[in-house]
Every structure is written in C-alpha cells, then in structure tokens.
A and B are shown apart, each in its own frame.
Chain A
Amino acid sequence: MASITLSGLTKTFGTFTAVKSLDLHIADKEFLALLGPSGCGKSTTMNIIAGMEQPSAGTVRFDDRDMLNVPMGRRGVGFVFQNYAIFTHMSVYDNIAYGLRMRGLPKAEIDARVRQVAELLGLTPFLKQKSAGLSVNILQRLAIGRSAAVNPQIFLLDEPLSNVDAAFRAVMRTELKHLQREFGQTMIYVTHDQLEAMTMADRIAVMDRGVLQQVGSPIEVYNNPVNTFVARFLGSPSMNLLPARLGTEDGRPVVEVTGLGRVAAPASARGSADVLFGIRPEDLTITATDLPGAFVMEVVFVERVGPRTIVHLARDGQELKAIEGNGFPVAIGDRLGVVAKPESVRLFDAATGQALDKEPADG
C-alpha cells in the first residue's frame, strides 16, 4: 500500500513539453482518474510513475521513497495496458503465474496464488485455455489478475476500456470499481472518457496540454470547474458558455447575457467586465415565454435519447442546450422561455477562461 507524490514533474520530448511541472498527491487506496483529451500528457505521467520513462525534471515518490532510481520491474506497480498486452502464446494460468515465476517462488505457492486470483476475478473456468482468442472482458480481467497476482502497491490502468463497446463498458466500469475495493490498492486510471472518470474515481485530475487543470471529487470538478476547459470537458452535453457582461442592478450583481436577457449573478461576483456565462444543460428549465426573467428562444433541434430530451435553442446567434425529461413535449420551431437556476450559474473571465469566483489553477 502506498501513496504517490509527484512534484514538479516535467517531461519534454525535444521542443514538445508533454507534462509541465505537475504536482499531484494521490492518497493510499485512492482511486484517481487522470482525465484529459489525447495528447494532454496523462499517459506520459503514467509511464513516468511506472518507470517506463524518466522525467526531465521533478520527482516521483511512493510514500517517502524516491522512485526515480528504482527500475520499472521493482517499483511494485501493476500496469494494465490499453490493449492489455496479454502473453497470447501462454495459457491464462501461465499469464497469471508469470510475475510469481519471475520472482522464483515455490511452485505450490504460485499455484495457490494463481487459483486465489483466478477465483476472485472469475477466471477459474478459463485457467487451462490459451489466452489468444478470449473475449475482451476476460482479457481485461486477466490483465488485472496478472498484475494483481504479484500484489503491487499501486495499480495503473491506461484507458483499459477504450477497446470495449459502449454497452459493455458500463458493465466493466462497475466491475473495475468493485475490483479496486477488493484489492484495496492505490489506483490511477487514465482515460479521456469523462463518464468513466465520473463514475469510478474518488478524485479526478483534469489535464490539458501537459498542465494539470483541476483536481477534486467528481462532483466538485463537475459543479465548480476552475476554467472553461474543465467546464467544457466534463458533462455531456457540456456546459453552455455564452458571452455576457457582468454588471450591477440595484446594488446586486447581475449578468447581462448578450442578446438574451439578465440573470442574477452569484453574490461573490462583482465588478464590471466581459465574462462567459456558464450553465449546465440540466440546470435550465423550459417554461412559458412570459415568465419574468426567462430567455425567449426558438427550438432548433431536439435530441431524444431515451431518458432525456436534449433541446437545442437559439436566438440571435446565441445557442443553448437544455435537458428535459423523456417525452418532453417540444418541437422544432417552438418559441419557449428558458430559466437558469441562479445558484447553478458559473461565470468565467472572457479573456483568461478562469472561473471568477475561484483561485486561478496552478500552472
């Protein structure tokens, strides 16, 4: 069991900076999701933790031990590759036993451990099979089992669900979370899928272009994004961001959303400036057009996705998406009122993209 501390971690490839002075602490037994678009540096970070790459600057510590001089095989890190990297020329049994055999453990001990891990992962019926040609969910469990057999302190998973079809991904998410509780290891999970991060992680670390943007619990990151990048990256559909002006009316802060109308601004917001008005689609309510304070807009598109109806609204070039329930009575061309929940409004500096009521993010 171990915590992970990254400080000042930087990795450059020639002139390209993959990771820029990253500081991050991951607690013992924590499940942290490293979230970001491709090329944001999340896989590089992972490879450095595992020891597959050396950082250009900064340190990696497990508990209090500096890991930079520890070769990758001795760090006690279990790594699940994106394509699982199963030894396809071996049986399932031999795959799980691999790490134990490399350590030269006695045969009986290896056998007991392999059976224990296989039982835990539901792999017992497959032990004698060749691993080539097994289905993807078995392969994933095998990849986890192979790493788990040697009892690593830390588990790193590199987009393990990206090869799995959507329907199965939901099953695997639950299974993975369950397994993490079972094994009780510190786990870092790299993904570009915000849904995976939201559903599984204790905390989410969002990265963009090598820079850590925000770390926090899924709800915190979702509700209070520190900048427009995080606001856009999390949530589906993502947060509405509209150009607006912050001002005051009767001594209270208000936001004048360009071309749409006025909304009360969060009390903490003050001053007068160009801002971006942010609101999650689910925090918009569709009402009658004559409700005071409602934006009057026209429905341009309706997506009915089972439990939800995503209503696309527009007026004077401003566009909003709102989420309503299944079967919500709306049609293209309707004129409707839209009301934002005042407590859900988030404001961002139009120039820097930083949240107005937040400290600027590191970096």
Chain B
Amino acid sequence: MTPEAMTPEAMTAKAAMSDPLPASARRSHTPPESPLEAEGRRLGFLMALPTQLLLVFIVVFPLLMQLYISLTAWTPLYGQNWTQAWQSWNWFENYAEVMQDGRFWSALWRTFLVIIVCVPAQFLLGLGLAILFVENFPGKRVFYSVLLTPMMVVPAVAGYMFFMLFQSGGPINGILSDLTGLNVTTAWLSDPSLALAAVMIADIWQWTPLMFLILLAGLIGVPEDQLKAATLLGASWWQRFRTIMLPRIRTVIVIALVIRTVEIFKIFDNLYIMTGGGPGVSTETISVYIYKVTLQNLEWSYVATVALIILVSLSVVTAFGLKLMDRR
C-alpha cells in the first residue's frame, strides 16, 4: 500500500508540481504557440511557483517524513536527529502493532460512536431549525444571532463551560433535580458510561449551528416558484419537502455531513478539557489517543503510523462523500 498517493493533499501537491509537464507534452501536437503565449505561460508558472514550493514544504515534505518515520522505531528518546531514524528501520512492524493495539481500536470505535450519534443529531436539529428559519417570523434576526453564537465560542472555552455545567453539583443536575423533584447528583464526567454522552451533548450544542447555517443556505436556494407550482398542484408541505426541497439540497446535505464527520473524527479540544479522555480511557477518541501516545509515551514513529492510517481512512470517507455528490 502506498497511502500517500491516495490523500487529497498529496494529489493536489503532485498536480501542482507536475503542472508544466502536460503543457509541454501538449505543445508537441498542437499548433506552435506564439511568443506572447509562451511568455504568458512562463509568467503564469513563475507566479504559481511560490505557492507550489510552499505546498511542497507544508504538505509533501511532512507527509514523506511521516511515512519515513513510520517505517522505523525512532523516538526522540534515542537522542538522535530524525534523519538518523533509518538506523532503527523496522519495515512495517509499527503497522502490524497498530493492528494488534486494542487501545487504538477502541479509540477508533469510540470516535465512530461519537460520529454516529452526533452527526445525525446535528443534522436533524440543524435541518429542523433551517426549515423554521426559511419562513419569516417576528424576531427572526435576534434568534438567528443567538442560534449562531455557540459556533463562535472557542472550543476550549466551550469545553470548560460544559465541564462546569456537568459537575455533580452543577446547573445541569440542578435543573434535573428541579424537574424530577429528586436530588440528582450524577457525576457525569467521572462516570465511564455517561462521560461520552456529556461530550456528545457538548459537541451537538456547539456544532448544530454550523449544520443549520449550511442547510439554511441550501433551503433558501430552492426556487420559490417551484414550491408555489407544487403547492398549486396540490402538494402538502411534507410532499413539497420530500419532492422539491430535499432533492434540491442533496449536495448541500452531503457537504454538511462530510464536514461534520471529518471534524468529529478529529474531536479533541473540548473533549480533552471536559474529561481528558477519561475516566480511564472511556472518552479516549482517536485524537486524544494520538496526543497521549505522542506527548506522554513519546512513541513518535508509532504515532506517525497511526496518523497516517487515520489520514488515509479520512480521505476515503471524504472521497466517498464527494462521489455521492457527483451522482446527481
């Protein structure tokens, strides 16, 4: 497997670097270009060059470095520069180890669990709100601003906010106590079976607005004449939604789902502040896992392997989403 060939970043970089090549190939069987055209091409190449060089340094180089390190057993603890990593070359041992790593797999599974719960929840809530906001109603602008606020909050701050809210003597238990009449003292964040739920609630709170915003943009784009025409043909609201609105915002839906899926895959800051991946490893998602292995265990070559595997998996998810979009 040559994973770097499949990542979009690598593909972009490759395309950028080899850009002048197909042009020179084309030149052989098209009429000879005028000096002006040749000059224009040269100028274009020169102007694009800085960006291409930058791409080489920030995408291709780290990627190759990562691939290189992932094939060794190198860690900074050896006291050697990473360029010396070949001295501990161990082929695919790291990859084999990842496959056997129970903690990796459960982190991956936990991440999927968060995705499976949060993405549909954010989608349905966002869609519902977007539908409400397509129509005009008094106070719409105020509600709109309020609704978008969570998205603007720095995730770390949101994490701290929910950390406080979910304390056993915190406001959430307070509200639950008032509602149920019982004295609720659930320790949300230190209960292994509830901590992940708390993290999910925080994520849904923060990122439903984004889903709402994207879907609203899609719904506003549905031609009003078509909706009127459908109404005149006797379609109920639900029928209009199913036959006109939904097919028309399909692309937007796919984009929104892909964005949130990829983002939740990388969930870290608010989660780390709320639970630190704990109690134990009960909220350890893939990013938290990588973070811990990197900075606590300093197993850098192993981390490089994990990160590469994640990059490839995410690229596949994204490609799948884009393919769904193309099919329309």
B-side residues, CB < 8 A to A, are 223, 225-226, 228-236, 239, 243-244, 247-248
Binary contact readout A133-166 vs B (1 if CB under 8 angstroms, 0 otherwise) = 0000000000000110010000000000000000
Q: Distance (Å) between the CB of A50 and the closest chain B CB?
A: 6
Q: Which of A62-88 contact B (CB under 8 A)?
A: 72-74, 77-79, 81, 83, 85-87
Name the B residues within 8 Å of A98 (CB-CB): 230, 233, 235, 243
Q: Is the CB of B225 within 8 A of A87?
A: no
Q: Is the CB of A73 within 8 A of B233?
A: yes
- Write 29 A-B pairs (CB below 8 A) sorted by A numbering: A50-B232, A52-B228, A72-B231, A73-B231, A73-B232, A73-B234, A73-B235, A73-B236, A74-B234, A77-B232, A78-B232, A79-B228, A79-B232, A81-B225, A83-B225, A85-B223, A86-B226, A87-B226, A87-B229, A87-B243, A89-B247, A89-B248, A90-B243, A98-B230, A98-B235, A98-B243, A99-B234, A102-B239, A146-B233
Q: Distance (Å) between the CB of B254 and the closest chain A CB?
A: 15
Name the A residues within 8 Å of B243 (CB-CB): 87, 90, 98
- A89–B222 alpha-carbon span in the complex (Å): 11
Name the B residues within 8 Å of A99 (CB-CB): 233-234
Q: Which of A37-79 contact B (CB under 8 A)?
A: 50, 52, 72-74, 77-79
- A78–B231 alpha-carbon span in the complex (Å): 11
- A355–B234 alpha-carbon span in the complex (Å): 46
15 additional A-B pairs beyond A83-B225, A89-B247, A98-B233, beta carbons within 8 Å, are A52-B228, A72-B228, A73-B232, A73-B233, A73-B234, A73-B235, A77-B232, A78-B232, A79-B229, A79-B232, A81-B225, A85-B223, A87-B226, A87-B229, A102-B235
A-side residues, CB < 8 A to B, are 50, 52, 72-74, 77-79, 81, 83, 85-87, 89-90, 98-99, 102-103, 146-147, 150
Most chain B C-beta atoms within 10 Å of own C-beta, residue among A86, A99, A102? A102
CB-CB under 8 A for A85 and B228, given A98-B243, A102-B239: yes
- Identify B233's interface contact among A86, A89, A90, A102, CB under 8 A: A102
Q: Distance (Å) between the CB of A9 and the closest chain B CB?
A: 19
- Identify A102's interface contact among B223, B225, B226, B234, CB under 8 A: B234
Q: Distance (Å) between the CB of A319 and the closest chain B CB?
A: 43
Q: Distance (Å) between the CB of B227 and the closest chain A CB?
A: 9
Name the B residues within 8 Å of A103 (CB-CB): 234
- A287–B225 alpha-carbon span in the complex (Å): 55
Q: Is the CB of B247 within 8 A of A147?
A: no
Q: Distance (Å) between the CB of B81 and the closest chain A CB?
A: 58
- A99–B236 alpha-carbon span in the complex (Å): 11
Q: Which residue of B has the minimal Cβ distance to A103?
A: B234
Q: Is the CB of A72 within 8 A of B232?
A: yes
Q: Which residue of B has the minimal Cβ distance to A152?
A: B232
- A133–B131 alpha-carbon span in the complex (Å): 29
Q: Distance (Å) between the CB of B228 and the closest chain A CB?
A: 6
- Identify A150's interface contact among B231, B234, B244, B247, CB under 8 A: B234
The 10 closest A-B pairs by CB, nearest first: A99-B233, A85-B225, A85-B229, A73-B234, A102-B234, A102-B235, A89-B247, A79-B232, A85-B226, A81-B225
